[in-house]
Structure 1
Amino acid sequence: MAGHSQFKNIMHRKGAQDAKRSKIFSKLAREITVSAKMGLPDPNMNPRLRAAILAARAENMPKDNIDRAIKKAAGGDSENYEEVRYEGYGPAGIAVIVEGLTDNRNRTASEVRSIFTKFGGNLGSTGSVSHMFNRIGQINYKAEVATADAMLEAAIEAGAEDCVSTEDGHEVVTSVDDLGTVRDALEEKFGGADGAKLVFKPSVSSPVDEETARSLLKMIDYLDDNDDVQNVYTNFEVSDEIMAKLSA
């Protein structure tokens, strides 16, 4: 009997993982379609589309799905997605920025607002928290691609502002304007990046206790679970000790 229950748990977990993967693929496909629609459908001539395809490949999205998403942009029947951004405060006044792609602004605004409210936060006006973040370019490579020194040297030579290397990989930081040229130079040297995109990086971080961290992580999960939400950025900082507890 115990074996049957264990099998059920494994199947449930697999089902949850499949659903999560399907949601990730759907968001990646939406970004590919929007990128192809905003520029040319050729990734060599469209940096945003190239970045979207790289992100999809990093998640092992099948080539058929990628091709279908690009073709969808050319079809007259494809949905019209527009970019939206929401700013506000989560639990304990932590700054939160949400980026989305939606075909219905009212629906997305209402759903995002209700998630903020559910966790005791509130949406603010545009600009209410973005001044606490820097808009930067971020290029990611796997750790085995190069040594920390080699990546730093190549990044600086290409015009990057910084490179942080850990056992998880290399994160190259650029200005907004230099993202494309730095990415191209690094790709020529190391091959395709795992990701290259503009992100919001907090300029001021706020440490939080375990209870607030738990609540914030749950709120981020709810936001990530929304089909229209593409990225969530916050400025909270959590100690390794608390993170280990929450991951247990």
Structure 2
Amino acid sequence: MAGHSQFKNIMHRKGAQDIRRARQFAKLIREITVSAKQGLPDPAANPRLRAACAAARQSNMPRDTIERAIKKAAGQNGSDDYVEVRYEGYGPAGIAIIVEALTDNRNRTASDIRTAFSKHGGTLGESNSVSFMFDRIGLIRYPATAASADAMLEAAIEAGADDAQSTTDHHEITCAVESFFAVRDTLESHFGEPETAKLDWRPTTTTTLDEDAARAVLKLIDALEDSDDVQNTYANFEIPDTIMQSLDS
């Protein structure tokens, strides 16, 4: 299990899936709200909003819920004013963690994040204290059935991507942040809507965790992800499959 993935295994390990689903919907609606406010409330003319709507559809959010969120954000009375904030710190075993949040109360969010780090063996750091250990990239993922590996690589390079890696399950295309929307739109014209399209923090090196460290790190990640304000969490760790199976049992 890689630390830069979105911790799907964690979500499946925990109970109360309805609560997790509701929380995920709330986070997606926040992203839709911010995206619609920062640009036009039209996904076709607003690349960030288009990506937010695609992510919502991937999570099976009803279309009318998405449309209501856009209309609310575009209304004259507006909606909650969220600001984007990023926190960085260290977790158990010295792993580096980046937390992205959307909040309408910076003090509340900072307190929640600091408490989570302190309670679970971590330390909240200053801005840019760990981000130098990550690359900021554009990430686009298609299922393996979308195209052959050669066809996807050729299309990705022609679109301006840096690389395309293919496995039996999916194609993963990476590109520079400034090229992200252009690459995504070009690939979408060839292969349809991707299953994932987002800006990502990719660690340049990772730390492999033993079972005790993995348990401690996942508890911290769980606590961070439980915050309604937290949108994404990234970290530079790896957990061997055998240890993940032990933790899941």
Deviations along 1:97-146, one digit per CA (max 9) or x if unpaired, are 00000000000000000000011111010010000000000012122212
* DSSP 3-state at the match of 1:173: strand
Letter aligned with residue 181 of structure 1: A
Consecutive unaligned residues of structure 2, counting only runs of 5 or more, are 1-12
Q: Distance in 2 between matches of 1:236 and 1:158?
A: 31
* DSSP 3-state at the match of 1:127: coil
Aligned to 1:157: 158
Aligned to 2:50: 50
Q: Distance in 2 between matches of 1:145 and 1:229?
A: 32
Consecutive unaligned residues of structure 1, counting only runs of 5 or more, are 1-12
Check the 8 A contact 2:121/2:216 in 1, yes or no.
Answer: no
Q: Distance in 2 between matches of 1:36 and 1:226?
A: 23
Q: Distance in 1 between matches of 2:56 and 2:156?
A: 23
Aligned to 1:72: 72
| Residue 236, structure 1, aligned to residue 245, structure 2 | no
What are the residue-to-residue correspondences of 1:188-207 with 2, within 5 Å? 188-207=189-208
- Percent identity for Structure 1 against Structure 2: 62
Q: Distance in 1 between matches of 2:235 and 2:173?
A: 20
Moved more, 35-44 or 159-168: 159-168
Letter aligned with residue 164 of structure 2: C
| Residue 186, structure 1, aligned to residue 193, structure 2 | no
Q: Distance in 2 between matches of 1:74 and 1:53?
A: 15
Aligned to 1:3: none
Deviations along 1:50-73, one digit per CA (max 9) or x if unpaired, are 100110111111001100110111
Moved more, 103-112 or 138-147: 138-147
* DSSP 3-state at the match of 1:60: coil
The normalised TM-score by structure 2 is 0.91
Aligned to 1:63: 63
Q: Distance in 2 between matches of 1:152 and 1:61?
A: 31
* DSSP 3-state at the match of 1:125: coil
Q: Distance in 2 between matches of 1:231 and 1:138?
A: 14
Deviations along 1:198-220, one digit per CA (max 9) or x if unpaired, are 11100111111111111111211
Q: Distance in 1 between matches of 2:108 and 2:167?
A: 40
**1:80 CA displacement:** 0.3
| Number of corresponding residues | 236
The normalised TM-score by structure 1 is 0.91
Q: 1:198 to 1:209 in 2, by over 3 A?
A: same
Q: Distance in 1 between matches of 2:166 and 2:32?
A: 28
Q: Distance in 2 between matches of 1:232 and 1:24?
A: 13
Q: Which runs of 4+ in 1 moved over 6 A?
A: none
* DSSP 3-state at the match of 1:177: helix
Letter aligned with residue 135 of structure 2: N
Deviations along 1:1-46, one digit per CA (max 9) or x if unpaired, are xxxxxxxxxxxx9x81211111111111110010000000111111
| Residue 145, structure 1, aligned to residue 153, structure 2 | no
Q: Distance in 1 between matches of 2:138 and 2:212?
A: 32
Q: Distance in 2 between matches of 1:168 and 1:56?
A: 22
Aligned to 2:4: none
**1:155 CA displacement:** 0.9
Aligned to 2:41: 41
**1:77 CA displacement:** 4.1
Aligned to 1:132: 133
* DSSP 3-state at the match of 1:178: helix
Check the 8 A contact 2:139/2:173 in 1, yes or no.
Answer: yes
Q: Distance in 2 between matches of 1:34 and 1:28?
A: 10
| Residue 20, structure 1, aligned to residue 20, structure 2 | yes
Aligned to 1:108: 109
Letter aligned with residue 168 of structure 1: D
Letter aligned with residue 240 of structure 1: D
Q: Distance in 1 between matches of 2:244 and 2:180?
A: 31
Q: Distance in 2 between matches of 1:54 and 1:156?
A: 23
Q: Distance in 2 between matches of 1:126 and 1:63?
A: 37
